[in-house]
Amino acid sequence: MSTTRSVGILATRSVRTIQRLPSAFFPALAMPIFNMVVFAGTFFAVTKIPNFPTDRSINWYMPLGIMMGSAFGGVGLGFTTIRDIQTGFYDRLRMAPTSRISLILGPLVGTLVRIALMTTLVIVIGIALGVRFTGGVLGVLCLYVSALGIATMGAGWGLGLAFKFKDMRGAAIMQLSIFLVMFLSSAQVPLDVMSGWLHAVARVNPATNILRLARVGLVNEANADHLSWNSVWGGVVAIVVMCALSLVFALRNLRKLSN
C-alpha cells in the first residue's frame, strides 16, 4: 500500500516536469519525429529491395524512430537522477522509510507515461505522413509494448549507471551504449537483407527481436514477420529478460550507494 503510494507520487513528480520544463521534453518528442521523417525520406528506395517486408518506407522507419526515442527517453531517467544525486535531492529520497523498489519504480512509471505520450504523437504524425497499420489493434499494441519495454530497459540501465558513477561520465556511457545497441540491429534493414559483420552482430542483439515485435503490425501481411506467434514471442522474451536484468542492475547499484 505504502509502496504503491510512493510509486504514484514519484511518478507524478516525473510527469509534472513535462509541463514545468517543456524545453526538456520537446527534444524527446522532436527526435523520433525527425528520425522517422528523414530516414523514410533518404532511404525511400530501400523498400524496393527484393523481399523487403514492407513497401512503405515510413512503415519501416516510424517504429525505428519510436524505439530510438524510447530507448533514449529511458536512459534520460539516468540523466535526471544524476542531477538529483548531485544536488542532494536523492539523499532526501534515500532517507525516506520507503522501499528501495519504489524509488526505482516511481520515476520509471513517470518515464513510461512520457514514452506513451511520445509514441502516440509519433503514430498520429506517422499516419498523417502515410503510415498504414497492417496488423490492426494487436499490431499497435505490440508497438506500444516494445516502446515501453525498451524504455524500461534503458531506464534500468541508465539508473544503474547513474548510481554507479554519480556524475556525467555515467551519462556518456548511457548514450553511447544505447546508440550502439540500437544501431547494431535490424534498425535500418531486416536481417535477411543485411550482409557481413552486421548480420552476425544484429542476429544476437536482443534489440533486433524487440524491433521485430515493434514492426509486426506494420509489415506486409504476407511477410514472415507479420503479426503471428512466431514473430512475437522472441521480442516478448527479449523484453522480459532485458528489463529484469536492467532493473536488477539498477536496484543493486542503488543499494551500493550507501557503501
> Does the protein bind another protein through residue 166 (CB under 8 A)?
no
For another protein, the closer of residues 122 and 227 by Cβ is: 122
> Does the protein bind another protein through residue 54 (CB under 8 A)?
no
For another protein, the closer of residues 95 and 137 by Cβ is: 95
For another protein, the closer of residues 99 and 230 by Cβ is: 99
Interface with another protein by CB under 8 A: which range of 95-103, 112-120, 142-150, 216-224?
Answer: 95-103
> Does the protein bind another protein through residue 197 (CB under 8 A)?
yes
Q: How far is the CB of 12 from another protein (least distance, A)?
A: 8
Helix ranges restricted to H, the chain: 2-20, 22-42, 57-87, 89-95, 100-128, 136-165, 168-183, 196-204, 206-215, 229-256
Q: Per-residue x/- marks for another protein, 17-36, CB under 8 A?
A: x--xx-----x--xx--x--
> Does the protein bind another protein through residue 111 (CB under 8 A)?
no
The correct pick among 59, 70, 98, 253 for binding another protein (CB under 8 A) is 98
| 118-123: long-range pairs with CB below 8 Å, 24+ | 118/28, 118/29, 118/32, 118/66, 118/69, 118/70, 118/73, 119/66, 119/69, 119/70, 119/143, 119/144, 119/147, 121/29, 121/33, 122/32, 122/33, 122/36, 122/62, 122/65, 122/66, 122/69, 123/62, 123/66
Contact by Cβ (8 Å): 96, 136: no
> Does the protein bind another protein through residue 10 (CB under 8 A)?
yes
Q: Which residues bind another protein (CB under 8 A)?
A: 2, 5-6, 8-10, 13, 16-17, 20-21, 27, 30-31, 34, 38-39, 41-46, 48-50, 84, 87-89, 91-98, 183-184, 188-189, 193-199, 258-259
